[in-house]
Amino acid sequence: MPGERIDGTAIDAPADVLLAEGPGGAAGQEPIGPQTLVCPLETRPRAAAALVGFLSSETPVLRTAALTAEESVVRSRAEAVVAELGDSATHIVSATWTVPLPWFALVEPAERILVLPSDDAVTAPEAPTRRCYWRVPMADALSRADAAADLLADTLGDDGPSDVLRDTARWLRHFDPGALVELDYGGLVALMDDQTLAADTSAEDVAEALEALRAGDAEKAMASYRRLRDFWAGRAAHQRAN
C-alpha cells in the first residue's frame, strides 16, 4: 500500500495534498474560510478501496497474475486499511475508465474549465497540463444533487441514477459547507484528443435530460441520455481492450 514498507509497517512521511484556490461558500455569499483550500489525497485508503474492488470484480486468472501474495492475505490487509477510515469519509471518490453519469448533475455546463494548450505550448517546460474539470461551491453541488435525485426518483424510480445521487449527497455532507466540489476527468483526458474534449457535451446532455423530465418530455430526455451514454461507452471500452 502507499505509505507502507513491504512488511506492512507504516512509513513516516508527509501527507500528500491538493491545493485549490477558493473561496468556498455558495454563489453570491461571502466566502467561508481561507481562500486556499486543502484536499488530502489519502492515497493509502483509496488504493486499498481500489484493491478491494479489483479483487471483487476481476476474474481469477487476472487476480492471480496481478498478485504477488496470497489473495486472502491481500484482501485482509486492504480491508483493514479501508476500515481505518471509521465513520469519516475519504475526500476523493474516483471511478475508472468513465465518469459516473449522474455526477454531471452536480455541475452546470458553463462552469467547465478546459485546459487545452496549443502544440507549441505543450513542448514548453512551463506548459499547463491538459485538464477538464468543474469546480463548484458545496452548497450548489448539494442542492443540485438533491433536486436531481428527487426528480429522478419521481420519474424513473428510486434505483439507478437517483440512488447514485443520494449516495453522493450523503458523502458530500461529511465536509464543511464552505468547501469546493471538483469533478475532474483526471487521466481520462489521455483517452481523448483536444477536439473530442472541446466538443464534449456531457454536462449539457445531463442538464437537457433533467429539464426534459421536468417538462414531461420522456422522448427528449432519452435522446439526451443516449448521446451521453454513447460518448462514454467509447471511453469505457478501453477497459477491455487488448
Q: Starting from the edge strand earliest in sequence, which strands make up the sheet with 131-137, in order?
A: 112-115, 131-137, 180-184
Q: Taking 70 as the threshold, does the pLDDT of residue 164 lie above it?
A: yes
Q: Taking 50 as the threshold, does the pLDDT of residue 210 lie above it?
A: yes
Spatial distance between the Cα atoms of 116 and 113, rounded to a whole number of angstroms: 10
Lowest mean pLDDT among 21-25, 81-85, 172-176: 21-25
Nearest to 151 by CA among 218, 231, 214, 70: 214
Spatial distance between the Cα atoms of 104 and 228, rounded to a whole number of angstroms: 10
Whether 47 contacts 94, CB under 8 Å: no
Lowest mean pLDDT among 17-26, 105-114, 218-227, 230-239: 17-26
The pLDDT-based confidence of 122 (bands split at 50, 70, 90) is very low
pLDDT tens for each residue of 176-195:
888 889 999 999 999 899 99
Full-model pTM: 0.83
The pLDDT-based confidence of 158 (bands split at 50, 70, 90) is confident
The pLDDT-based confidence of 123 (bands split at 50, 70, 90) is very low
Q: Which of 5-19, 91-105, 114-128, 201-215: highest mean pLDDT?
A: 201-215
- Residue 127's pLDDT is what? 54
Whether 220 contacts 208, CB under 8 Å: yes
pLDDT tens for each residue of 23-62:
554 444 555 556 788 899 888 888 999 999 999 988 999 9
Q: Taking 70 as the threshold, does the pLDDT of residue 153 lie above it?
A: yes
Q: Taking 90 as the threshold, does the pLDDT of residue 171 lie above it?
A: yes
Q: Mean pLDDT of all residues in the chain?
A: 86
Specify the residue for cell string 467561508: 32
